Amino acid sequence: MQIYNTLTRQKEAFVPLEAGRIRMYVCGMTVYDYCHLGHARMLVAFDVIARWLRASGYQLTYVRNITDVDDKILVRARDNGEPIADLTERMIDAMHEDERQLGVLPPDREPRATAHISDIIAMIETLIERDYAYHADNGDVFYRVRRFERYGALNNRNPDDMRSGARVDIDEAKEDPLDFVLWKRARPEEESWSSPWGEGRPGWHIECSAMSTCCLGDTFDIHGGGPDLSFPHHENEIAQSEAATGQKYVNTWMHAGALRVDNEKMSKSLGNFFTVRDVLKAHDPEVVRYLLVASHYRSAINYAPETLKDARRSLERFYNALADVEIIEGEVSDEFAERFTRAMNDDFNTPEALAVMFELVREINRHRENAAHAGALAHELVRLGNLLGLLERSPETFLKGASSGINDEEIARQIEARNAARRNKDFAEADRIRDALAEQGIILKDSREGTTWVSENR
């Protein structure tokens, strides 16, 4: 298995620290708001990676943290006039709901920063003892960046050319502008914890160092996250963790690619900012997941109406191939599984893996007259799709309208409204409803028994 390592900037043969076992940590959500599409990109990418590592026979321990204390959380809770715990619990529940919708399996462990305050304090104390950190005059504790000789290696940066990446403004109490905060002195009426440096709360970067090493040990196999975390967050994690433990922190660093909307960076100021739940109100979750899986995890993804249409058409090709075929186990050529495995073992090359699945579709369509063979090919297609978190529904369920972005209940309501309009001889309204459904791919069929519907793509 070859994995691209951000630290070395090349693909490497992956060899776990312990034979047959992999320990992986991925930076999760800061739970002050609903998950957006960029979060979905990261969540799905590492879900596919976790699925494949397990399918490859590894015993995987997958840890993805929750940041439940942070400047943004404090500001949002204050603005909402609600306790911090109420805000974070609500957002965590919403995050889990979004994950389930997208077919993202839960991690093995999901530590929260507030449950590791004692571990965070202990790590900061060690850094102070080793002269990598200092208690400043303003009450904060800072990390001495220039004390760590390998700082900047992950991002190939020279400290002299850097700007501070802390989430707060540069503090005059710092010895060096590059230094970043480990512990923040509490402001009046802020959530805080007791520490040797007074009441306060942890900085963002130290939280992940403490949680990851507590859950996985001083050194572990894989650390992942979104594209914006490589600097400064992961750079700071390396500096903190290795200074505190004296051990190499992580063997392989992985970063998901960015998500863009209509080829623009997603931004509230540009009006192209979408939460996962808003997107899923209008689009089938599997269509969204397919869009996120179809690109290599390190590549940028463009989210736009045409890319969603392409994703829907691709899924329809799969489900149409499975329709009217009895999916049964049977003998098929090993070629498909072997090529799929080679693709996934080449740095989780999902585009190439999907290409193998499309070849299976062509084989199913060629052998439809041979029910047993077509059924065995269909079984293999479903098995491979499931490894990517796809094709987990029946063809009938998907093709009957899920791919149109409108659910069965809404279609039924529209049909009843049309029937009511026809009874009232409001034929213009009845035609309007029919045409509106047709625009979404739903074709109505009237008969003596009533009105039924099909997807135009079936």
273 inside domain? no
Three-state SS letters, the chain: CEEEECCCCEEEECCCCECCEEEEEECCCECCCCCEHHHHHHHHHHHHHHHHHHHCCCEEEEEECEECCCHHHHHHHHHHCCCHHHHHHHHHHHHHHHHHHCCCCCCCECCEHHHHHHHHHHHHHHHHHCCCEEECCCCCEEECHHHCCCCCCCCCCCHHHCCCCCCCCCCCCCCCCCCEEEEEECCCCCCCECCCCCCEEECHHHHHHHHHHHHHCCCEEEEEECCCCHHHHHHHHHHHHHHHHCCCCEEEEEECCCEEECCEECCHHHCCCCEHHHHHHHCCHHHHHHHHHHCCCCCCEEECHHHHHHHHHHHHHHHHHHCCCCCCCCCCCCHHHHHHHHHHHECCCHHHHHHHHHHHHHHHHHCCCCHHHHHHHHHHHHHHHHHCCCCCCCHHHHHCCHHHCCCHHHHHHHHHHHHHHHHCCCHHHHHHHHHHHHHCCEEEEEECCEEEEEECCC
Binding residues for Zn(2+): 27, 208, 233, 237
268 inside domain? no
Binding residues for ATP: 268
Q: How confident is the model at residue 439 (pLDDT cuts 50, 70, 90)?
A: confident
Residues 365 and 449 in one domain: no
Give the per-residue pLDDT at 344: 98
39-54: pLDDT as tens digits: 999 999 999 999 999 9
For residues 190 and 13, the model is more confident at 13
Structural domain of residue 435, as residue ranges? 406-455
Residues 182 and 317 in one domain: no
Binding residues: 27, 208, 233, 237, 268
Q: How confident is the model at residue 457 (pLDDT cuts 50, 70, 90)?
A: very low
Q: How confident is the model at residue 170 (pLDDT cuts 50, 70, 90)?
A: low
372-429: pLDDT as tens digits: 999 999 999 999 999 999 999 999 889 876 445 566 778 888 999 999 999 999 999 9
Residues 384 and 412 in one domain: no
The pTM assigned to this predicted structure is 0.86
Q: How confident is the model at residue 190 (pLDDT cuts 50, 70, 90)?
A: confident
Domains: count for the chain: 3
252-283: pLDDT as tens digits: 999 999 999 988 888 777 778 899 999 998 89
Residues 418 and 289 in one domain: no
Give the per-residue pLDDT at 271: 77
266 inside domain? no
Residues 254 and 335 in one domain: no
Residues 294 and 385 in one domain: yes
Kindly report the CATH number assigned to the domain that includes residue 208.
Answer: 3.40.50.620
109 inside domain? yes
395 inside domain? yes
Q: Would you say residue 73 has pLDDT above 80?
A: yes
